[in-house]
Structure 1
Amino acid sequence: MASKLISLLVIAAVLPFFSSPSLANVSLSSPVSPGTLCNDTLDPSYCKSVLPKQSTNVYDSARLCIRKSLSQSRKFLNLVDKYLLRRSSLSITATRALEDCRFLANLNIEFLLSSFQTVNATSKTLPALKADDVQTLLSAILTNQETCLDGLQATSSAWSVRNGLSVPLSDDAKLYSVSLAFFTKGWVPKMKKRITWQPKSKQLAFRHGRLPFKMSARNHAIYESVSRRKLLQAENSDVEVSDIVTVRQDGQGNFTTINDAIAAAPNKTNGSNGYFMIYVTAGIYEEYVSIAKNKRYLMMVGDGINQTVITGNRSVVDGWTTFNSATFGKSLIPSTWS
């Protein structure tokens, strides 16, 4: 499960945005030909094939493509499930690759539902942070497709599985790319359209190489005792911590494993009271750590490089997919590791 979530961190370095000179002086809500809309997408021919022949606009086109994307992602999930019904005749590697694809397909459905709710609610430019969130979801879908395909390509003993899924994976990725392009054109502030990534104002800010925290006197004492670091002088921009637990292998902390500490963290918090901090003291932790989606506003802090180490020994040679070999993974829900 850990590495299933880590793939979401590998957002495409350059998102398939487009900027169409032909639309520069045209209202995005004005009907134009599909050819004009698709000219500057990555695959204009494919783009035109999914749009209606009559004139349309960016907003309606984006909604149409996201709806089609949602339908295709559900069909792909059903196809994966059909292959998994024959798992008794498949290799362990092929079965695990299919399970990865099923997990990723479910994520894609969730991300598309969330994206459609946003675009269906307005035909106006979104605030920058909200636009960033949807772009992240739509680009993560493309990453998930590539991750699924990578896993299938490693299953040389299951040619029928690989060949049966590679075409829909490729076609769906084209559709997802068009959806992302139209979303970027219609809802993303103009000044951000050519920016691939930049730190958000809501992200955590370091001062003097350290992350400043705001916490209760009790948590303050716990933090300084385990970290042997003095907290920086409080400022309004400090990161609020609601509670803190410690992980120590010698049994003197709240937990001896990271996974047990994560399991004890509250579910579905809204962040209004700050982050739930897990402080992991120095040691080598042989664990596969997974931070599930319902563990929100969770912060993990270690003793530093080469001090707090998370390790494992899963490999492709032993039948594990690369996707499942990571020792630490987190979802897109706000959480942080320091």
Structure 2
Amino acid sequence: MSQYSKTMESSESTSMLPPESLPNHNSTTPKTTKSHCYSNAKGILFTSFSVILLLTTIVSAGFLVHFRTGSSHNPTHIKTTMAISKTCSRTRYPSLCTHSLLTVPDSLNATESQLVHISLSTTLRRMNLALYGASAIANAQMGTRVRSAFEDCLELLEDSMDHITRSLKYSTGSETNKASSREDVMTWLSAALTNQDTCMEGFEGVSGTVKDQMVQNLKDVSELVSNSLAIYAISSKDKDFDGIPIENRKRKLLQSVSTSEKSGFPGWLRRKERKLMDLPAAMIKADIIVSQDGNGTYKTVSQAIKAAPEYSNRRTIIYVKAGRYEENNLKIGRKKWNLMFIGDGKGRTVISGGKSVMRDNITTFHTASFAASGTGFIARDITFVNWAGPANHQAVALRVSADHAVVYRCSIVGSCDTKL
């Protein structure tokens, strides 16, 4: 899996037969990679919480570290410090690192630890500017494929801003979720880095003003996130990450996740959730019941998702009774935390769709029959299907970008890029 979210899976994937800008230093256009199609697609989790631009700016400004200085600074003649030089020398883009830190005058008096906060704040401000620039062209005329890629980028940028914001809160001790850890911050920053590539992959094979403006908006963003990730890893002083290239740390992170010997589940999964994994559906008191015959709270899965609370630290259980639920690209947004979907078993509770790259002229990211980006997503005893068929190219059955996600005893059925 090429995802940075900590995800625990127990499923089978089956192929179907019939503000202010920063100058550009060491900047490169985000790399794009072709999407490949395999009969048995391996899991690729795109990583990917909506943040209002004004609030994000406030958060970023609020976390900029201010230290007492005895003199004013001339922005045209600023000399770097030993802490900045040492910190930036360990990043992949040292020139950009130095310049971005020096845009905050108080960085001259910052320690290496305090430079973590400044780096994250600077990256968040730059990402906010990128989202603002992208939103400015939202009403421009676009073809179906370009519109699909553009919307992908907006969603991914918002996801990334949320990841950076949470990282910043954790590093300053103001993260409200007490279960968060240093590994979570590494995961969030790695996810934000991957999101930029995913954004540009959607524009592969197309050209025009929208693509050009998106490339311009994203200048330096990936590099700044990469530097923030490196600076945070350095500050953590964890020997597990010593000498490990940024792009390879994800594998180390996944290997380091603790697992309960008795349950076989990862250590971050709470005891209550572990019990819910194997408890018969009839013994579970669901908050919402979905039943096509009307003997439930709602008849459709989309209604259940809409009714679920936002940003809830309490587990919300949605029981989806046996049946085939064909709805239009179901999605659990980043605001929907801790939703658990329980079905009546593989092949009995089926969530399906038929969107594809070829037939619908949309991005792979947009084809998912079911997508989840809300933290704490759990799916159990459900079959996810994309029936588009191999002739229609990429057609995703399940896309999960949620942190701390579990897919347990589920079947994922498709023909090409089955899981994302």
Q: Same fold (TM over 0.5)?
A: yes
1:211 corresponds to: 277
The farther-off stretch of 286-295 and 186-195 is 186-195
Q: How does 1:1-338 map to 2 (within 5 A)?
A: 9-11=45-47, 32-52=82-102, 57-85=111-139, 87-88=140-141, 90-121=142-173, 129-154=180-205, 156=206, 158-169=207-218, 171-187=220-236, 189-191=238-240, 195-197=252-254, 198-199=257-258, 200-203=266-269, 211-213=277-279, 223-224=281-282, 243-271=286-314, 275-287=315-327, 288-317=329-358, 318-338=360-380
Counterpart contact for 1:128–1:189, Cα < 8 Å: no
1:216 corresponds to: none
1:172: how far off? 0.7
Counterpart contact for 2:288–2:304, Cα < 8 Å: yes
Q: Classify the secondary structure of the residue corresponding to 1:84.
A: coil
1:177: how far off? 0.8
Deviations 1:146-192 (A, max 9, x none): 221111224x1x42322332254352101001111111222475457
Residues 1:292 and 1:82: Cα distance change in structure 2 (over 3 Å):
closer
1:128: how far off? 8.5
Residues 1:121 and 1:204: Cα distance change in structure 2 (over 3 Å):
closer
Counterpart contact for 1:38–1:44, Cα < 8 Å: yes
> Partners in 2 of 1:184 and 1:332 — Cα distance?
25
Aligned residue pairs total: 282
1:100: how far off? 2.3
Counterpart contact for 1:282–1:303, Cα < 8 Å: yes
- The one-letter amino acid of 2:158's match is N
1:8: how far off? 11
Residues 1:33 and 1:245: Cα distance change in structure 2 (over 3 Å):
closer
Residues 1:276 and 1:164: Cα distance change in structure 2 (over 3 Å):
closer
Residues 1:337 and 1:210: Cα distance change in structure 2 (over 3 Å):
same
Q: Classify the secondary structure of the residue corresponding to 2:336.
A: coil
1:309: how far off? 2.3
> Partners in 1 of 2:212 and 2:90 — Cα distance?
30
> Partners in 1 of 2:231 and 2:98 — Cα distance?
13
The farther-off stretch of 281-290 and 68-77 is 281-290
TM-score (norm 2): 0.57
Q: Classify the secondary structure of the residue corresponding to 1:153.
A: coil
TM-score (norm 1): 0.69
- The one-letter amino acid of 2:186's match is Q
Deviations 1:74-97 (A, max 9, x none): 221122123324x23x22221232
Deviations 1:295-322 (A, max 9, x none): 3222101233333222212223323222
- The one-letter amino acid of 2:341's match is M
Identical amino acids, percent of aligned pairs: 28
Residues 1:323 and 1:36: Cα distance change in structure 2 (over 3 Å):
same
> Partners in 2 of 1:266 and 1:310 — Cα distance?
22
The farther-off stretch of 313-322 and 35-44 is 35-44
> Partners in 2 of 1:188 and 1:308 — Cα distance?
47
2:389 corresponds to: none
Counterpart contact for 1:206–1:212, Cα < 8 Å: no
Structure 2 spans left out of the alignment, 5+ residues: 1-6, 8-42, 49-80, 243-248, 259-265, 381-420
> Partners in 2 of 1:167 and 1:41 — Cα distance?
23
> Partners in 1 of 2:335 and 2:86 — Cα distance?
42
1:281: how far off? 2.8
Counterpart contact for 2:338–2:377, Cα < 8 Å: yes
Structure 1 spans left out of the alignment, 5+ residues: 1-5, 13-30, 214-219, 225-230, 232-240
- The one-letter amino acid of 1:160's match is T
> Partners in 2 of 1:207 and 1:298 — Cα distance?
11
